[in-house]
Structure 1
Amino acid sequence: MARTYFVAGTDTEVGKTHVTAALLACCADRGLQTAAVKPVASGCEATAEGLRNSDALLLQEAMTMELPYQQVNPIALEPAIAPHIAAIEAGRRLDVSRMAGVCRGVMNTGADLVLIEGAGGWRTPLGPRSFLSDLPRELDVPVILVVGMQLGCINHAVLTAEAIRHDGLQLAGWVANFAREGMARPEENLGTLRQLLPAPLLGVMPFDEAADYRRAAGQLDPAPLL
């Protein structure tokens, strides 16, 4: 079975997809067969083929395995709102066991590395008593944390790391992503995060207006994952 990681973020809009795609490209450059899953995505657009999510399409482009869209993004929701609210409006139920089944299918496709990208932060709700963090717990896979480098990121990163450990999962590594320009004292914040996060830093991704994941791949060191 493939080496598998769940990619979580300290918040929404911190660049999880950008980092996931860059990791896929980085590992592909090292000769690995890669695959990815975006189990649930809101903010999808209606197309002739059905609802499509731009993040899931980017992952589909970045990975080396050829998988159908429905396997990459099994739950596609149209409104760009919290997934559990979008699901209620669509009359759908977000089921962790079903998501886990899809992920296990991808994990058994023959890929060397599988990345499962979350939505929002660690405690994104799926329903009244379930969270997206239940998915990596059910799969028992380690976590890669994307830290959006902005004011408040230290608190968000430390609390998320504590929640990951509390859930019995390993924080395998973290990526510092400058998704926005103009953060004050970036080096000092990076130094503090290095001291406080109990996992290796996999790379620092500078702000890139074009969000070119292939270029960003050169900023990453996946060795601790492999």
Structure 2
Amino acid sequence: MRGLFITGTDTEVGKTRIAAAMLRRAAQAGMSTVAMKPVAAGCDHTPHGWRNADALALQSAATVTLDYATVNPVALPEPVAPHLAAREAGRVLSLEALVAAYRDLPQADLAVVEGAGGWRVPLGDGTTLATLAKALGLEVVLVVGLRLGCLNHAQLTAEAIRADGCSLAGWVANCAGRPPKRADAQVATLREVLPAPCLGVVPRLSDASADAVSAHLTLP
């Protein structure tokens, strides 16, 4: 099963938007898909337990129906860094348990795994989400939030992905908020400096559904 790990240059850059759209793009190509958000910090309490909006979006976008706990094995209430949210919840994040949860996913043509925050968000005990991506052997798709500072953040993240022994399959420029000045020039620069293909440039959309966003993407 091929797997993609979706990371971002920062938090709130549209990782879920792109991850869900990648799932829909694959489905449109006739592929079966599964989705996973290993750790979600920032959940709402429901009659069915803690639920995270991003994980629910991924669950809905995949073609293979999975129960919530399979999609999001660790759901933490507080919207802070995962290791801090876990500490406040009295839990310990286990790299081995997260790897096992991924290995237990049903087979599909494509698995899309979304991280939390940026590339090296801590999980605790010296491990990060980058450690998880490497342990799973997943190719990485980098979501670049088009904003002031994104050129620096994108290059540093790409360098870190390579330094951590992972493969950058491609990147997506995403305009989730108000378009920055000279956005086209930013994208042109990113094409020059990032060592991977551009998989899409997503403008600000009135319809931000996964299907609508998928029209602006290609699969790596």
Normalized against structure 1, the TM-score is what?
A: 0.95
What's the secondary structure of 2:104's corresponding residue? helix
Give 2:119's aligned residue: 122
Shift of 1:165: 0.3
Q: Distance in 2 between matches of 1:213 and 1:86?
A: 28
CA distance in 2, matches of 1:97, 1:208: 39
By how many angstroms is 1:208 displaced?
A: 2.3
After the TM superposition, which of the residue ranges 97-106 and 58-67 deviates more from structure 2? 97-106
Moved over 3 A (4+): none
Structure 2 runs not aligned, ≥5 long: none
1:40 partnered with 2:39: yes
Q: Decide whether the 8 Å contact of 1:33 with 1:113 is kept in 2.
A: yes
Opposite residue 215 of structure 2, the aligned amino acid is G
10-19 vs 179-188, greater mean Cα deviation: 179-188
1:174 paired residue among 147, 171, 179: 171
State the number of aligned residues: 220
Length-normalised TM-score, structure 2: 0.98
Is contact 2:179–2:204 with CA below 8 Å preserved after alignment? no
What SS does structure 1 have at the residue aligned with 2:119? coil
* Partner Cα distance (1:173, 1:35) in 2: 20
Q: Structure 1 residue 211: deviation in Å?
A: 2.4
Instruction: Give 1:110 deviation, angstroms.
Output: 2.3
For the pair 1:62 / 2:61, whether they are aligned, the reply is: yes
Which amino acid is the alignment partner of residue 112 of structure 2?
A: L
Residue 201 of structure 1 is matched in structure 2 by 198
Say what the alpha-carbon RMSD is for the aligned residues.
Answer: 0.9
Distance 1:215 1:18 in 2: 10
SS of alignment partner, residue 108 of structure 2: coil
Counterpart for residue 7 of structure 1: 6
Per the alignment, residue 100 of structure 1 pairs with 99
In the other structure, the counterpart of 1:74 is 73
Query: Percent identity of the aligned residues?
Result: 50
Deviations 1:174-205 (A, max 9, x none): 11100111301011100110011111111111
Matched residue, 1:16: 15
| 1:139 match | 136
Question: Please, which of 146, 166, 170 is the counterpart of residue 149 of structure 1?
Answer: 146
